[in-house]
């Protein structure tokens, strides 16, 4: 049986912020573990020092073995279980082999300095992660806390948010919170976008009280709200078809969606707002439509990956999808389905919107050859329209929504 590894959270004010019994445990340790910054706070420790970098799972497995006969102490920032190293230790070493002693987290200190509550805050770590998708995840939230890194600095975040029209927020930046070099700022996004900040910081976005509520978009955005190509305006995936197709997708958090033949991006935008944690790839060959997609992304505050190219030629470098939506194929439907179904994850779904009988029959023929029985939904919609002083109806083109599931992998 191994001895319990102690994980001790520390702040920036190590000299005054660490209790005597924690210091005693550190002094008595055979192995002191932490990041380079953490270990630099204890220059007089003469026994083994292990730096947490590189292949962390390998290091943690070794520490678990070393703890059988040695006292191991791990230094971590703030609360080790708040976007910290604690999660990895729990997964690899096990909670039964750990004793965790948290310090105040950067989030607690930041809200204390701001003078506001934080139980109603949306929290996200950008450490080592891309900004892609942040727009739809935070849209409409009153308070957001962002853990940053050197790439995703307050300056970069402010520029990103301004690009998507998030001018209703003010930005609080806390540098070296709890330390001797602590500095705090409360700025507009425009001010933050042109300043430089210390690398160790946390960001809080708070909606300004004087700003009226911004436009919110519920599921089923009206067709005319989208920037779209003219005179072929009618080629957009209609609102009702869009919503039914999203139902068939059954998107889950973290799912990867290929939207092939994205057009003006209406399906990708609705999918991103419906499931903000999905990873959406909008594939479109028409450069004019690419411009419309980007305009619509800014208007509706959605951020996903746009690919200018023709499917299936441009699909090889994309991650394997959980869902494939085919809204347009440019006459290459069989090639798209062949490659797409080869890449589709187990229990993944393919949704094809077919306007013509020929596309429907080609789709059914493909899946029959695969031994698959797809579900077909024929959607016929008529919308009301005024006729003199009365109300009539105008029919839209019928659409076949074909859905197939890769249950066997």
Give the pLDDT mean for 229-240.
Answer: 76
- Model confidence at 212, pLDDT cuts 50, 70, 90, reads confident
* Per-residue pLDDT, 12: 84
Using 50, 70 and 90 to split pLDDT, how confident is the model at 229?
confident
Residue 46: other Cβ atoms inside 10 A? 8
Contact 293, 270 (CB under 8 A): no
Q: Quote the distance between the C-alpha of residue 247 and its chain's center.
A: 21
Judged against a pLDDT cut of 60, whether residue 234 lies above it is answered with no
pLDDT tens digit sequence for 161-178: 999 999 999 999 999 998
Q: What is the mean pLDDT of the chain?
A: 93
Greatest Cα pair distance in the chain: 92
Q: Which residue has the higher pLDDT, 13 or 185?
A: 185
User: Does residue 408 surpass a pLDDT of 80?
Assistant: no
The pLDDT tens digits for 341-370 are 999 999 999 999 999 999 999 999 999 988
Q: pLDDT band at residue 210, thresholds of 50, 70 and 90?
A: confident
pTM of the model: 0.89
Q: Are 260 and 212 in contact (CB under 8 A)?
A: no
Assess whether pLDDT exceeds 60 at residue 392.
yes
Domains of the chain as residue ranges with CATH: 5-104 (3.40.1010.10), 107-207 (3.30.950.10), 223-406 (3.40.50.150)
Q: Is the bond into 312 cis (omega within 30 degrees of 0)?
A: yes
Burial class (CB in 10 A: 0-12, 13-18, 19+), 336: buried
Residue 231: per-residue pLDDT: 64
Are 107 and 123 in contact by the 8 Å Cβ rule? The answer is: yes
Rounded to whole angstroms, the Cα distance separating 185 from 183 reads 7
Distance CA 368, CA 404 (A): 11
The confidence score (pLDDT) of residue 263 equals 94
**What integer pLDDT is reported at residue 3 of this predicted model?**
75
Mean pLDDT over 206-221 rounds to 86
Give the whole-angstrom CA distance, residue 263 versus residue 340: 19
Please answer whether residues 322 and 316 qualify as being in contact, where contact means their C-beta atoms are separated by less than 8 angstroms: no
Residue 232 pLDDT > 70, yes or no? no
Structure confidence by residue, pLDDT tens digits, 266-306: 999 999 999 999 999 999 999 999 999 999 999 999 999 99
Evaluated on CA atoms 119, 7, 26, 75, the torsion sign reads: negative
Lowest mean pLDDT among 28-32, 196-200, 327-331, 374-378: 327-331
Reported residue count of the chain is 409
pLDDT attached to residue 370: 85
């Amino acid at each position: 049986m191994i001895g319990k590894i102690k994980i001790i959270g520390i702040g920036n004010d190590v000299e005054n912020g660490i209790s005597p019994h924690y210091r005693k445990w550190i002094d008595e340790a055979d192995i002191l573990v932490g990041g380079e910054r953490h270990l630099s706070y204890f220059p007089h420790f003469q026994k083994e020092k292990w730096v947490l970098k590189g292949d962390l799972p390998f290091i943690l497995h070794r520490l678990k073995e070393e703890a059988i006969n040695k006292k191991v102490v791990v230094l971590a920032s703030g609360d080790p279980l708040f976007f910290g190293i604690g999660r990895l230790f729990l997964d690899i070493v096990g909670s039964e082999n750990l004793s965790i002693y948290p310090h105040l987290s950067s989030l607690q200190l930041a809200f204390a300095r701001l003078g506001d509550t934080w139980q109603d805050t949306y929290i996200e770590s950008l450490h080592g992660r891309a900004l892609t998708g942040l727009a739809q995840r935070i849209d409409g939230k009153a308070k957001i806390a962002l853990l940053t890194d050197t790439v995703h600095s307050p300056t970069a975040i402010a520029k990103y948010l301004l690009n998507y029209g998030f001018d209703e927020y003010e930005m609080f930046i806390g540098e070296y919170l709890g330390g001797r070099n602590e500095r705090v700022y409360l700025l507009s996004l425009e001010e933050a976008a042109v300043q430089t900040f210390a690398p160790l910081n946390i960001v809080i976005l708070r909606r300004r009280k004087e700003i009226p509520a911004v436009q919110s978009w519920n599921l089923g955005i009206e067709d005319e709200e989208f920037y779209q190509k003219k005179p072929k305006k009618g080629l957009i995936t209609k609102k009702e078809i869009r919503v039914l197709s999203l139902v068939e997708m059954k998107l889950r958090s973290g799912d990867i969606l290929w939207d092939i033949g994205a057009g003006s991006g209406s399906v990708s935008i609705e999918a991103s707002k419906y499931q903000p944690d999905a990873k959406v790839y909008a594939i479109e060959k028409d450069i004019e439509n690419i411009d419309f997609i980007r305009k619509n992304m800014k208007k509706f505050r959605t951020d996903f990956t746009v690919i200018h190219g023709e499917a299936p030629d441009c699909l090889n470098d994309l991650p394997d999808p959980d869902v494939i939506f085919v809204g347009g194929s440019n006459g290459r439907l069989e090639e798209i389905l062949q490659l797409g179904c080869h890449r589709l994850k187990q229990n993944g779904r393919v949704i094809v919107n077919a306007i013509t009988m020929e596309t429907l029959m080609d789709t059914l023929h493909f899946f029959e050859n695969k031994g698959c029985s797809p579900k077909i939904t024929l959607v016929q919609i008529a919308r009301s329209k005024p006729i003199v002083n009365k109300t009539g109806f105008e029919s839209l083109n019928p659409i076949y929504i074909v859905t197939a599931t890769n249950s066997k992998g």
